[in-house]
Chain A
Amino acid sequence: MDLLNAVVALLNFVVIPATAYGAQLALGALGVTLIYGILRFSNFAHGDTMALGTGFVILVTWWLQSMGVTFGVLPTAFLALPFGIAATAAVVLLTDRSVYRFYRKQRAAPVILVIVSMGVMFVMNGVTRFVIGVDEIRFADGAKFLINANEFKQSTGLAEGLAFKASQAQTIVTAIAVVALLFWFLNKTRTGKSMRAYSDNEDLALLSGINPERVVAVTWIIASGLAVIAGTLYGLDKSFKAFNYFQLLLPIFASAIVGGLGSPLGAIAGGFLIAFSEVGFTYAWKKVATYVLPESLAPDGLAQLLSTDYKFAVSFAILIVVLLFKPTGLFKGKAV
């Protein structure tokens, strides 16, 4: 029995990584859910918007680094973030103008818009690969660790090390700030209120003089901002690879649906639920179990429920269970 070491191991391998990953998923799912609430379709291009935006951020980061500009202990990518968001928002608004608006005017069925977003996904995927390539890119600089595993071991005398990567701390702090800002915007400002009104009842909102094109444009800008931030944080924490961002689509959608499509609070809850289940199911619990259980009960194998290659299966299973038993999600999303 060694509870302290067990707690440290749990923090190190499960709680901290899952919290950071959950924050990244939540930011991604917020974008999906906002677009669903206002534009009423599932945007399949969201993963590739994240990839494209992160690509812009990486390019600006490289340019800043070549000019000798860095951001001290923080990664230079944070300086590049506003440029990345601006560029991505411009691309997305241009896409809306040239592609989506036509179908909106026609009041096309949501499934047609989903197929259209698939076309946009193709183009964005190609552009990302064209601009930045398919290779894995690491662009994190600045301080690496907030708490270093070895130093932690030495200073506490525990057998287990606790590593808290700077990228994880940055992810969590940024996510809290962004979410607070988003909720303030949606609940307190005039534009935010008009967005919520439009999402609740389109016809009523139009009658009260809300300009739909403006609401849509603001939604796209916010969604691309969220996508670029989520993508950059994910890239800083792990690494950037265009195809991985496409694959993030499934956990992101699962988060948004589990929380209830169209519900921002639900997207955040869903993101953390998916992240913790993914990490929990694929983590090898042997280490924690050996600390907690008496020696005779300690497991022989890795005590891993699923191999990490099946992490999609976890988000998928949660998705199916929620859809079967609570089809509008945990936080009462909308069903179009």
Chain B
Amino acid sequence: MNMRNILLFAGMALLIVLEGSTTFGGLFGGSWNTALFILNFGLLSAIMALGVNMQWGYAGLFNVGVVGFIALGGLAPVLIATPPVTEVWTTGGVGRLIFALIVGAGVIALAITLNHRLRGKVRLVALCVTLIGGFFLYRALFDPAVEVIEAFNPATNSNLGGLGLPVLLAWPVGAALAAGAAWLIGKTALGLRSDYLAIATLGIGEIIIATLKNEDWLARGVKNVIGIPRPVPYEVDLQSSSGFIEFAARFGADPVVASTIVVKLLYAVLFLVVLLVLITASELALRSPWGRMMRAIRDNEVAAEAMGKNVTGRHLQIFMLGSAVCGLAGAMMVTMDSLHNPGTYNPLRFTFLIWVMVIVGGSGNNWGAMLGGFLISFLWLKVESWGPAGLEYLTSGLDPASPLREHLKDSAAHMRLIALGLVLLLVLRFSPRGLIPEK
């Protein structure tokens, strides 16, 4: 950390403090609530950016399915923390479902073994028979189980529920889920060229989102799961506790506002702890012999392979690690919202925006990715309000009823896509190593 980087981070902190304390002619919100919201959003984004930076910055792997890994991590709080739906945990329901999933996995394992053992035409025939037969067997076992589960209480459940465990446990589980998916996709696509990996990850991202939206038995799909347990107290409980009202009064604050701020602060502390642990670990890893090996592989795969490094193995490892970090962030995000809403997983927001953060911050440098995460989150949230305000000012000469002005006002929300695309293009062109370049 040199002086310049400290100044950059101080500037970022100043932006958030300004957002909380002043309105400055409408440029900032002037509310601690929004400032803390931006801070939490920034903390989550910084963690996601760290994950993408591991893949791209350390190893040069181009993953455009980040949204899928985040969404998969977000599934964990539902599966771990929500109360179990004991009514469907019967032999015909969840029992049969688990059996079907095991059979499905078995079919794929058998197909992979056959693929390794056999050669020529026999292999093709055997693979086709196994996969097609296995598919129908799986569906025959799976479909009735899903019907049983989804038929139970569709208004509030229709899913298999969770395990009722503490929600913080869901964070590592979310990371593990994402890492598992990364292992599957990495095993198949990592040996291929960089473009192909990009398309393959784009596909897996879409498929994970489609699954989460449509498999109601898993997490209610687009019907959303609400009221996921939280690791911090509820605002209403704080507002009714006499100790808290006294505490708020000591600051001369309204208990309602104070409770929302305290809850957001508690989340910020939790997220900050995770972020600090992650960045310490990544910095140590990057400086270790392992980190030097990763960079050697990134800069010259052929030379690294000639030195006896297992390029594909290391790629798989870093791909899983980076995806796990994204999954962790996804689990944390769902925990903060206490809402699982797969309809909001938009690749523009959760894949490409994270990429902008990494590139703007400085790919290959953890601090850079982190700063990029904060800065781009801030811009992403602020441009949404600056866009309409700016247009309001620009079109103030027009007749208020003019259709052009109406149209411009309606579309102003899309300004941020243009703005962030331009930021990405300008940084790539004029400062391709980012705000905090790799050493």
Binding site for B on A (CB under 8 A): 41-42, 44, 99, 102, 110-112, 114-116, 118-127, 129-131, 133-134, 246-247, 249-250, 253-254, 257, 261, 301, 305, 307, 309-310, 312-313, 315-316, 319-320, 323-324, 327, 335-336
Given A115-B359, A116-B425; A129-B210 close (CB under 8 Å) = no
Task: Name the A residues within 8 Å of B193 (CB-CB).
Answer: 335-336
Decide: A327 and B192 in contact? CB cutoff 8 A: yes
Given A111-B60, A119-B421, A122-B420; A315-B203 close (CB under 8 Å) = yes
Task: Name the A residues within 8 Å of B210 (CB-CB).
Answer: 309-310, 312-313
Given A119-B425, A309-B213, A316-B206; A129-B414 close (CB under 8 Å) = yes
Decide: A126 and B418 in contact? CB cutoff 8 A: yes
Distance in angstroms between the alpha carbons of A309 and B207 in the assembled complex: 9
**Size range of the chain B interface in the assembly:** 35 or more
Q: Which chain B residues numbered 409 to 425 have a C-beta less than 8 Å away from chain A?
A: 410-411, 414-422, 424-425
CB of B358, distance to nearest CB on chain A (Å): 10
Q: B1-9, B17-25, B194-202, B229-237: which one contacts chain A?
A: B194-202
Distance in angstroms between the alpha carbons of A121 and B417 in the assembled complex: 9
Most A CB within 10 A of own CB, among B198, B347, B356, B359: B198
Task: Flag whether B267 is at the interface (Cβ < 8 A).
Answer: no
Decide: B62 and A130 in contact? CB cutoff 8 A: no
Most B CB within 10 A of own CB, among A122, A125, A131, A253: A122
Task: Flag whether B189 is at the interface (Cβ < 8 A).
Answer: yes
Q: Which chain B residues numbered 316 to 355 have a C-beta less than 8 Å away from chain A?
A: 347-348, 352, 355
CB of A206, distance to nearest CB on chain B (Å): 24
Decide: A309 and B352 in contact? CB cutoff 8 A: no
**Nearest CB to that of B199 among chain A residues?**
A253
Partner among B143, B214, B421 whose Cβ is within 8 Å of the Cβ of A122: B421
Decide: B352 and A122 in contact? CB cutoff 8 A: yes
CB of A334, distance to nearest CB on chain B (Å): 11
CB of B121, distance to nearest CB on chain A (Å): 13
Given A111-B62, A119-B421, A312-B210; A42-B199 close (CB under 8 Å) = yes
The 10 lowest CB-CB distance pairs between A and B, nearest first, are A122-B421, A126-B417, A126-B418, A123-B421, A316-B203, A119-B424, A129-B414, A119-B425, A312-B206, A42-B195
Partner among A110, A115, A247 whose Cβ is within 8 Å of the Cβ of B355: A115
Decide: B195 and A110 in contact? CB cutoff 8 A: yes
Decide: B192 and A307 in contact? CB cutoff 8 A: no
Given A129-B417, A313-B207, A320-B189; A110-B202 close (CB under 8 Å) = no
Given A122-B352, A133-B411, A310-B210; A254-B199 close (CB under 8 Å) = yes
